[in-house]
Amino acid sequence: MRMLEGSNDLKDITHIVLDEVHERTIDSDFLLIVLKKLMARRRDLKVVLMSATVDAERFSRYLDAAPILTVPGRTFPVQVKYLEDAVELTGFSLDNGYAEKYTDLDDDVELNETGPTDSAKSENTKALRGYSAKTRNTISQIDEYRIEFELVAQLLAKIATDDRLEVFSKAILVFLPGIGEIRQLNDMLVGHPVFSSNWYVYPLHSTIASEDQEAAFLVPPPGTRKIVLATNIAETGITIPDVTCVIDTGKHREMR
């Protein structure tokens, strides 16, 4: 704050660009407060706020009816699949000896008093209508607080080898929470027979050497495909232009 409200008022700076302003944090909101005060004294200062998903009207009102510039973008059709679809596609199971008996989906579900409520369990069961009993049993066993790395590896292998999914296999991006999980999945894929040839696996993280990270952004040569393992920074902070499939583990780390 001293830097922005000091006597020089950033007199050598003519433009300030803030990207991804929709990602609201205490720091970014505080910065906007300081910049608004600074702009009242520096009428020549230009502040540009950028985002592909921001509520532009809201920011414009805060900055005294600042003009809104819209740059047309491109959108692509996206097919969204869920955990149960991945389990059904791969035939994945935990193989821990646990087996839950499913009643017919049209019957009433009877549960004892120590289990989930009848209505909640019934809704969960009906939500899996159309999936095999094996898939429903597997879903009931999965711990939502863990990442099933074996399921991710099997899903990647299925996408890589199934002719029906070939169009999605050219460049696959996997979201993981941090460097530990990235290294774990990377080790699994490097030793996997499906990815032993004609595949590049790129870990992408700030702790990895810059030249190794840069390779993840390159389009692989004809006849080869790539997998990029990254945190959710690859969702908004960077762009990998040739990605055709995204596998999101649904986990990320944040400072609180």
Residues 6+ apart with CB under 8 A from 53: 22
| Structural contact between residues 176 and 229, judged by C-beta atoms closer than 8 angstroms | yes
The total of other beta-carbon atoms located within 10 Å of residue 171's CB is 21
Which of 58-72, 100-114, 136-150 is predicted least confidently? 100-114
User: Is the pLDDT at 217 greater than 60, yes or no?
Assistant: yes
Task: List C-alpha distances in Å: 223 to 149, 155, 165, 189.
Answer: 27, 21, 16, 19
Task: In whole angstroms, give the CA distance from residue 128 to residue 126.
Answer: 5
Confidence of residue 100 (pLDDT cuts 50, 70, 90): very low
Residue at token pair 């050598």 = 12
Hey, which of 84-98, 101-115, 191-205 has the most confident mean pLDDT?
191-205
pLDDT in tens, 127-168: 788 899 999 999 999 998 999 999 999 999 999 999 999 999
146-248: CATH number: 3.40.50.300
Single-letter amino acid, residue 135 = T
Residue 245: predicted pLDDT: 95
Cα 119 from chain centroid (whole Å): 32
Confidence of residue 108 (pLDDT cuts 50, 70, 90): very low
What backbone phi and psi angles, to 5 degrees, belong to 224? -125, 155
Task: List C-alpha distances in Å: 19 to 25, 53, 85, 214.
Answer: 13, 11, 35, 21
Residue 233: predicted pLDDT: 76
User: Is the pLDDT at 78 greater than 70, yes or no?
Assistant: yes
Residue 115: predicted pLDDT: 45
What residue spans of 8-49 are helical by DSSP H?
26-41
Q: Please give the mean pLDDT across all residues of the chain.
A: 83
| Structural contact between residues 243 and 172, judged by C-beta atoms closer than 8 angstroms | yes
User: Is the pLDDT at 19 greater than 70, yes or no?
Assistant: yes
User: Is the pLDDT at 3 greater than 50, yes or no?
Assistant: no
Q: Please state, for a pLDDT cut of 90, what percent of the chain lies above it.
A: 48
Which of 8-12, 68-72, 180-184 is predicted least confidently? 8-12
DSSP string spanning 55-112? -HHHHHHHTTS-----------------HHHHHHHHT----SS---PPPPTTSPPP--
Q: What is the mean pLDDT of residues 29-41?
A: 90
Confidence of residue 85 (pLDDT cuts 50, 70, 90): very high
Q: Are strands 15-18 and 46-49 parallel, antiparallel or unpaired?
A: parallel
| Stretch(es) of the chain classified as CATH 3.40.50.300 | 146-248
User: How many residues in the chain?
Assistant: 256
Confidence of residue 120 (pLDDT cuts 50, 70, 90): low
Question: Where would I find the beta strands (DSSP E) of the chain?
Answer: 15-18, 46-49, 171-175, 199-204, 225-230, 245-248
Going across the sheet that includes 171-175, the strands are 199-204, 225-230, 171-175, 245-248
Residue 76: predicted pLDDT: 78
What's the DSSP call for residue 194? G
Residue 212: predicted pLDDT: 76
The total of other beta-carbon atoms located within 10 Å of residue 2's CB is 5
Residue 190: predicted pLDDT: 92
Q: When comparing pLDDT for 67 and 118, which is higher?
A: 67
Residue 125: predicted pLDDT: 56
Residue 254: which H helix or E strand, with range? none
Residue 255: predicted pLDDT: 77
